[in-house]
Amino acid sequence: MTEPKPTASRRDFLKTTGQVAAASALAGVAVPAVHAAESNLIQVALVGCGGRGTGAASNCLNVQNNGPIKLVAMADVFKEKLDDSYENLKKAHENKLDVPEERKFIGFDGYQKALECLKPGDVAIFATPPAFRWVHFGEAIKRGINVFMEKPVTVDGPSTRKMLILGEEAKKKNIKVGVGLMCRHCDARTELFKRIQDGQIGDIVMLRAYRQTGPVGSALTEAKPDGISELLYQIKRFHGFLWASGGCYSDFLIHNIDESCWMKDAWPVEANGTGARTYRENYVDQNFDTYSIEYTFGDGAKLFLEGRNIPGCHQEFASYAHGTKGSAVISSNSHTPAKCRIYKGQKFTKSELVWAYPQPEADPYQLEWNHLIDAIRKDKLYNEVKRGAEASLVTSMGRMAAHTGQTITFDEMLNCPHEFAPDVDKLAMDSPAPLQADPKTMRYPVPQPGIVRDREY
């Protein structure tokens, strides 16, 4: 089997269905080259005020780059989240916040109102559940606004096709776009990549990645309580629902997948996988509790990925590369510090150690913002959409393999017609949820490997 050729596949899709949706969002819009305005003030709007959005906004405001930055607008569908985010940011950055009550927006149209507060060349942070990413990104492109968007940027084939098209539109308009795969900005991993490319461990023949933890986020979700709509409950517990986030697999495992593929300098051509719903108790979400995926690259090399969200089990959060001349630790304890190392053999022992990145390491969450703001101020080409969309697609490829029990190729995932939430751009506060529970059991559709084989639920 040959390595996938995403560029050719995307050219095909530029001529087909995805183009229509993306192009309609941009019709009749003429946007000038986008960079920091002459005033040198970069204004920021935060759309999605949960923990990750608040963290991204804080990193943005922490950038020390010879120019002022201010947060001027915020939007969310939950007032309490917006208020909490504002108070937390105010404690750390009070002199960089200018968000009066009239620039705090609640509702599904809040992103539009927040973007109206910006001028071309400013920055929007998109940190809502990823189902909304292409919708918000399209609006930012219309307005000539630079973007930072959290990962994953897509959750299925159709949204990936839309995102690839939007990424090209942003590039044409010189809009700077950062994607929250911050490990790519890590100094230690960057040095490790260079050393691997120089042949220090030989040809990579196997990678291993693990995110084996207890329950994280809203991955384990119980039935909807009274007092909240089905739609808002699913958004609030977005890790539990595939349409909103790609589930715990996409939201949590994408970093391990992305950093491993980076070191291999390739995307896998296919995936096989298994998984199980083990400890369900009263949980009704769509996730498996365990995932075991075998990714195969074009040259036959493998990436073995293990994910688990079960308390009381062995825990590991790390990625490794094995080559014909040695091995490497890509990350060894969550995302940072990476503590990258190279060994002359396949044993990770002191006697085999030949190189280790010096400690301490700079925070990659901050570095990704330093790089984006620097690109805006100096008007450098900066567009991470293609890589972010492909990383999201490869993640979905492994998830679909486990959920269906089938071998899923890169191009099959890209071509997959199952769009989890085709009308996500039309949602309002009183809309029905894209996913409905069985009225008798109050449980949601779940993957059935080997039974439902052409879609995940």
Indicate the average pLDDT of the chain.
92
Distance CA 248, CA 239 (A): 5
55 residue type, one letter:
G
Distance CA 361, CA 183 (A): 12
Task: Provide CATH 3.40.50.720 ranges for the chain.
Answer: 6-183+367-383
Which contiguous run of DSSP H or E holds residue 202?
none
Task: Provide CATH 3.30.360.10 ranges for the chain.
Answer: 187-360+395-415
Choose the CATH number for 187-360+395-415 among 3.40.50.2000, 3.30.360.10, 3.90.700.10, 3.40.640.10.
3.30.360.10
Strand, helix or coil for residue 104: strand
Distance CA 287, CA 246 (A): 9
- Structural contact between residues 31 and 120, judged by C-beta atoms closer than 8 angstroms: yes
User: How many CB atoms lie under 10 A from the CB of residue 366?
Assistant: 18
Q: What is the DSSP letter of 204?
A: E
Q: Which of 396, 400, 403 is nearest to 450 (CA)?
A: 403
What is the DSSP annotation of 261-319? HHHHTS--SEEEEEEE----TTB--S--SEEEEEEE-TTS-EEEEEEEE-TTS--EEEE
Q: Give residue-wise pLDDT tens across range 110-137.
A: 999 999 999 999 999 999 999 999 999 9
Of residues 215 and 238, the one with the higher pLDDT is 238
Quick check: 29 pLDDT over 90?
A: no
Look up residue 147 and give its two tokens. 């973007």
Q: Give residue-wise pLDDT tens across range 192-235.
A: 999 999 999 999 999 999 999 988 889 999 999 999 999 999 99
Mean pLDDT score, 230-248 = 97
Look up residue 66 and give its two tokens. 């010879």
- What pLDDT is recorded for position 5? 41
Percent of the chain as helix, strand, coil, to the nearest 5? 40, 20, 40
Look up residue 205 and give its two tokens. 């023949």
Distances (CA, A) of 1 to 203, 407, 410: 18, 13, 12
Half-sphere exposure for 125 (CA within 13 Å, toward CB): 32
- Structural contact between residues 32 and 144, judged by C-beta atoms closer than 8 angstroms: yes
May I ask the CATH architecture of the domain 6-183+367-383?
A: 3-Layer(aba) Sandwich (3.40)
Quick check: 260 pLDDT over 90?
A: yes
Partner residues linked to 282 by β-bridges: none
User: Is the bond preceding residue 364 a cis peptide, omega within 30 degrees?
Assistant: no
377 phi and psi, to 5 degrees?
Answer: -70, -35
Of the pLDDT bands very low, low, confident and very high (cuts 50, 70, 90), residue 39 is confident
- Structural contact between residues 142 and 170, judged by C-beta atoms closer than 8 angstroms: no
- Structural contact between residues 126 and 151, judged by C-beta atoms closer than 8 angstroms: no
- Structural contact between residues 369 and 63, judged by C-beta atoms closer than 8 angstroms: yes
Which contiguous run of DSSP H or E holds residue 213?
strand 204-213
Quick check: 9 pLDDT over 80?
A: no
- What pLDDT is recorded for position 395? 98
Distance CA 42, CA 374 (A): 11
Distances (CA, A) of 343 to 261, 262, 355: 19, 19, 7
- Structural contact between residues 84 and 44, judged by C-beta atoms closer than 8 angstroms: no
Q: Which of 302, 305, 304, 357 is nearest to 329 (CA)?
A: 357
Look up residue 279 and give its two tokens. 């400890």
Q: Give residue-wise pLDDT tens across range 49-103.
A: 999 999 999 999 999 977 999 999 999 999 999 999 999 999 999 999 999 999 9
User: How many CB atoms lie under 10 A from the CB of residue 274?
Assistant: 14
User: How many CB atoms lie under 10 A from the CB of residue 237?
Assistant: 22
Distance CA 213, CA 317 (A): 8
Quick check: 353 pLDDT over 70?
A: yes
- Structural contact between residues 399 and 456, judged by C-beta atoms closer than 8 angstroms: yes
As a residue count, the chain comes to 457
128-145 b/e (C-beta count within 10 Å ≥ 16 → b)? bbbbbbbbbbbbbbbbbb
- What pLDDT is recorded for position 125? 99
